[in-house]
Structure 1
């Protein structure tokens, strides 16, 4: 009789404990799917927007239209699409972990390759399809086996992560590495691509951490309570803007020195690697994941890296413009190219191809050359011999 109520109480409590976990697990996977789809959609729209703006520049350059590029409807349509894509990518950080969203930027490179096939009519070889297939398989593994940690991005939680000793140690190492690379780049003139892109990647890790915090606090403000009263929100906003501007500056410097396709692949690999490490340290993305899921996630990252590298490596580099005609001489024949001289010389300081520059002096150019005069002693002999011809000859 005494154990009856206790047993009934235990039976009443068991369903509450067993049904709560599957609901949370289902909602977390649903949030991961929403975040991944938003990121894929955003990067796809950004790729289309960039190609539209490039098409606007090319069309104006090949026509006699005196308008600037920002006065065309095509360029503004691409700009609006870029804003839409950036908004979708920003919103994706509010749903899924940072380590899952960061590698999905490979969608932009895959979409650019597909757009080149459809609109530009580029001819692809089997190795191009293989490269895109690798990137797609890696992206699928990233989404399927990505981290599933979800935390409410309130001001208190962000401050708690910000002052934790793992993140402080990580930030100390990152600051020391950034200052060392910046010293070699500025003071030692070490303009190596890997140094410039490492600077971009270190800044990018701070950018994605702040974007995740801002997007999460905005989502909490919409769903639950306002978070705009916390000073950490505005600190994160300033850090996001400052690091994004610094990234753009270093990327523009790198694009002036190296090939853009190579920059795109190396920058994706470095930025994704450091962003995943930042998410694992700051937001503890992999704290509840087993070893198998982490290993398959890393394998997906490596496959996506290989696919992106092969996509950019297989692109044909544009041929540089040669202002002078190059001729292949016969073997053993000495030409002006042997001494490094051009066939068509450039008179004056301005470039002139096939015509004279306006500041050239025609009298100096067309003055006939004179032979050197050799001084000889006066002699009675004539400088030349006169032959006598008789009529018999």
Structure 2
């Protein structure tokens, strides 16, 4: 009995290390991809070609840009796999590390000075991530895709899905026409709400791939249904995020979206996967503190980016 318990503990620990490593490496790869693509875009401008922001596509001829795209693909793939090993409540907030990686590497490879505000943001990001890693739930109560299939019919989760659909319809048809171009939260509510479902469904896909769903024909049908719904959700999410970025400053969109999206992901994954049910109150408080620190880090790092962009524009003019 004791040996079985130890074997289970070791298995959960190994899964946690794998998932955590994938989540961190995902942020590193995505952060690097921004730098690589930025260098490619700067090279396009130096060569006298039309800028991407002005409708130019010369960057497609740059191998460096494609390298950046490949690096981002690797990062997103690692992120998807991470959901199969550790709770979404850990993976999603750690996405803030990609902003940290971008800030540090931009000062080294793009000649962007990392001033005091940026350094404070970097320190906060590291502290918040460490606190979150220490206190976050280490494993899910749902271990297999078959268990998840049963859980998908839970009344509480179906109520959450129904609430998201109602919220989407109300915002899309009532708020978007009136306030979409003046209120930054309107489009981001849709992105975050639909995105929270996309994440839990991506986690479900990860479990299905890990388990190699071939035991039950019904499981295969549900797997592909979830896959289609997740893709549709991602498309909707990207569409409305682009609308928001087209109207509002990215330095405001990024932190607001991070807060709304991550909060709803934690709620959705907590409902479906019972990630918080067996946690001690001290760990729950620790996760909340870590998340708040990460929020502060994201806002601080975007403040640094905003001040750099102002200096960059002044130098051009």
State the TM-score, normalized to the length of structure 2.
0.89
Instruction: For residue 210 of structure 1, report the CA deviation from its aligned partner.
Output: 0.9
1:318 counterpart (306, 310, 313): 310
Gap runs ≥5 in structure 2:
51-56
1:258 counterpart (234, 248, 252): 248
Q: 2:34 aligns to what?
A: 50
> 1:314 is paired with a residue of what secondary structure?
helix
Q: 1:249 aligns to what?
A: 239
Q: CA RMSD in A?
A: 2.3
Q: Distance in 2 between matches of 1:306 and 1:226?
A: 46
2:117 counterpart (110, 127, 138): 127
1:35 counterpart (9, 13, 19): 19
Q: Does 1:239 align with 2:220?
A: no
2:43 counterpart (52, 55, 59): 59
Q: Distance in 1 between matches of 2:127 and 2:58?
A: 42
Q: Does 1:302 align with 2:302?
A: no
Q: 2:77 aligns to what?
A: 87
Q: Distance in 1 between matches of 2:293 and 2:10?
A: 28
- The 3 A distance-change label for structure 1 pair 127 and 57 is closer
- Of residues 68-77 and 224-233 in structure 1, the stretch that sits farther from structure 2 once superposed is 224-233
Q: 2:106 aligns to what?
A: 116
Gap runs ≥5 in structure 1:
1-15, 326-393
Q: 2:206 aligns to what?
A: 215
Q: Distance in 1 between matches of 2:276 and 2:217?
A: 26
- The 3 A distance-change label for structure 1 pair 294 and 176 is same
Q: Distance in 2 between matches of 1:104 and 1:200?
A: 19
Matches within 5 A, 1:1-393: 16=1, 18-64=2-48, 68-150=58-140, 151-154=142-145, 156-191=146-181, 192-221=183-212, 230-315=220-305, 316=307, 317-318=309-310
- The 3 A distance-change label for structure 1 pair 227 and 310 is farther
Residue by residue, what CA displacement relative to the aligned partner does 1:36-73 show, whole Å, maximum 9, x if unpaired?
Answer: 11111112111211221222122112214698211221
State the TM-score, normalized to the length of structure 1.
0.73
Residue by residue, what CA displacement relative to the aligned partner does 1:189-245 show, whole Å, maximum 9, x if unpaired?
Answer: 4421111111110011011011100001111118x9588952111111111111111
> 2:136 is paired with a residue of what secondary structure?
coil
Instruction: For residue 184 of structure 1, report the CA deviation from its aligned partner.
Output: 3.1
The structure with higher relative contact order (CA 8 Å, sep 6+) is 2
> 1:230 is paired with a residue of what secondary structure?
helix
Aligned residues: 305
Residue by residue, what CA displacement relative to the aligned partner does 1:91-126 show, whole Å, maximum 9, x if unpaired?
Answer: 111111111111111011101100111112222333
- The 3 A distance-change label for structure 1 pair 242 and 249 is same
- The 3 A distance-change label for structure 1 pair 133 and 226 is farther
Instruction: For residue 127 of structure 1, report the CA deviation from its aligned partner.
Output: 2.8
